[in-house]
């Protein structure tokens, strides 16, 4: 089923169902692949149909923890904006319905494979917050507020108390943020890829 123009969508909100993380391979740009590999290791990536993607384990993205993404703000752009598709041309047709003027013209489509799409007349939230944020993220990256779930995964954080005893508490930081970034050389196959 092809994506539909945004003018047919009343609203969308991520409820952290995790279906996108289980359903799709996540293609990465060269910069995203290098950044994720440097921070988490090359073993978190794989090549599928000639594209660098996030590795899948147990039927889902390697970074999926209890339906949430443990990458936090390091999520790939496609993950930050899906199911909102930001285009410079009306690639899925219906250009008048997909047109969205911000500082320049964009064509916005919504992928109906997300189970949380509500069809109907567009809400103010969709028009004023969700779509502009998706456009900003596609252009410049950056943090999310309206294109992500408000849920956060608590993870165990081991700290050392004043008397030197380890203790475990819950943190709202991504699971992989506890690792120190590592400097790694790119594997030869990555240099040959285009983003």
Q: 37-85: per-residue pLDDT in tens?
A: 999 999 999 999 999 999 999 999 999 988 888 988 888 999 999 999 9
Residue 25 lies in a domain: yes
Q: 136-154: per-residue pLDDT in tens?
A: 999 887 677 777 665 554 4
Residue 164 lies in a domain: no
Residue 43 lies in a domain: yes
Residue 175 lies in a domain: no
* Predicted pLDDT of residue 190: 45
CA angle 16, 126, 66 (to 5 degrees): 5
Residue 161 lies in a domain: no
Residue 148 lies in a domain: no
Helix (H, G, I), strand (E, B) or coil at 129: helix
Q: Beta-carbon neighbour count of residue 114 at 10 Å?
A: 17
pLDDT at 192 over 90: no
Neighbouring C-alpha atoms within 13 Å toward the C-beta of 43: 2
Q: How many domains does the chain have?
A: 1
Tokens of 155: 């993870």
pLDDT at 31 over 60: yes
Domain of 70 in residue numbering reads as: 4-140
* Predicted pLDDT of residue 150: 55
98 in Cβ contact with 107 (< 8 Å) = yes
Residue 37 lies in a domain: yes
105 forms bridges with which residues in the sheet? 101
Rounded to two decimals, the pTM is 0.72
Residue 194 lies in a domain: no
Task: Give Cα separations from 35 to 4, 44, 58, 86, 134 (angstroms).
Answer: 32, 11, 24, 23, 21
* Predicted pLDDT of residue 149: 60
Q: 167-183: per-residue pLDDT in tens?
A: 444 433 333 333 333 33
- What is the rounded distance in angstroms from the CA atom of residue 22 to the CA atom of residue 90? 28
């Amino acid at each position: 089923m092809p994506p539909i123009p945004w003018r047919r969508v009343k609203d969308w909100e991520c409820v952290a169902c995790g279906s996108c993380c289980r359903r799709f391979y996540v293609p990465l740009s060269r910069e995203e692949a290098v950044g994720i590999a440097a921070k988490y290791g090359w073993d978190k990536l794989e090549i599928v149909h000639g594209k660098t993607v996030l590795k899948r384990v147990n039927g889902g993205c390697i970074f999926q923890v209890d339906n949430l993404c443990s990458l936090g703000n390091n999520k790939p752009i496609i993950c930050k904006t899906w199911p909102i598709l930001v285009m410079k041309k009306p690639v899925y047709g219906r250009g008048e319905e997909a047109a969205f003027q911000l500082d320049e013209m964009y064509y916005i489509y919504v992928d109906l494979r997300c189970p949380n799409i509500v069809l109907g007349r567009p809400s103010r939230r969709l028009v004023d917050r969700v779509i502009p944020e998706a456009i900003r993220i596609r252009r410049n990256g950056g943090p999310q507020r309206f294109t992500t779930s408000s849920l956060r995964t608590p993870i165990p954080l081991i700290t050392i108390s004043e008397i030197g005893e380890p203790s475990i508490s819950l943190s709202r930081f991504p699971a992989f943020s506890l690792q120190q970034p590592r400097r790694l050389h790119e594997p030869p196959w990555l240099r040959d890829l285009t983003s």
